[in-house]
């Protein structure tokens, strides 16, 4: 159980790190490159790009919400693991006395 919990926490941290890197990359793209790409677009292409930007912002919001949920779940798992560990430790201490 402890090994599975540790693995799950490591996977969650890895995913949270990935989301953080993805967020940084997304910000760099939208802040630095997008104006250069949109400068000479025809109206239809500009509208399509605006739609894609809106969808990407929605995706970013969704990823941020997922990150918050992962952090919450990580906290819950850590608390439950600590509670399980303390429960399993207490009977052993009583038996050794």
Report for 6-15, 20-29, 75-84: range of highest mean pLDDT: 75-84
**In total, how many domains does the chain have?**
1
In a domain? residue 45: yes
Whether residue 74 lies inside any domain: the answer is: yes
Position 97 in a domain: no
- Write the DSSP assignment of 81-93 as a string of letters: HHHHHHHHHHHHH
pLDDT value, residue 62: 92
Q: Is residue 17 part of a domain?
A: yes
Confidence tier at 95 by pLDDT (50, 70, 90): low
Q: How far apart are the first and last CA of the chain?
A: 27
Show the domain range for 51: 2-89
Instruction: Give a yes or no: residue 94 inside a domain.
Output: no
- Asked whether the predicted pLDDT for residue 73 surpasses 70, the reply is yes
- What DSSP designation does 54 have? H
Q: Tell me how far apart the alpha carbons of residues 72 and 82 are, in angstroms, rounded to a whole number.
A: 15
Is 95 a member of any domain?
Answer: no
Tell whether pTM > 0.75: no
Q: Which residues, in sequence order, are CB contacts of 34 under 8 Å at separation 6+? A: 49, 53
């Amino acid at each position: 159980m402890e090994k599975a919990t540790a693995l799950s926490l490591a996977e969650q941290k890895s995913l949270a790190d990935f989301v953080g890197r993805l967020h940084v990359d997304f910000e760099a793209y939208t802040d630095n490159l997008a104006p250069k790409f949109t400068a000479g677009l025809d109206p239809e292409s500009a509208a399509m790009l605006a739609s894609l930007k809106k969808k990407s912002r929605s995706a970013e919001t969704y990823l941020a919400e997922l990150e918050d949920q992962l952090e919450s779940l990580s906290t819950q798992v850590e608390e439950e693991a600590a509670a399980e560990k303390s429960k399993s430790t207490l009977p052993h201490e009583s038996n050794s006395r």
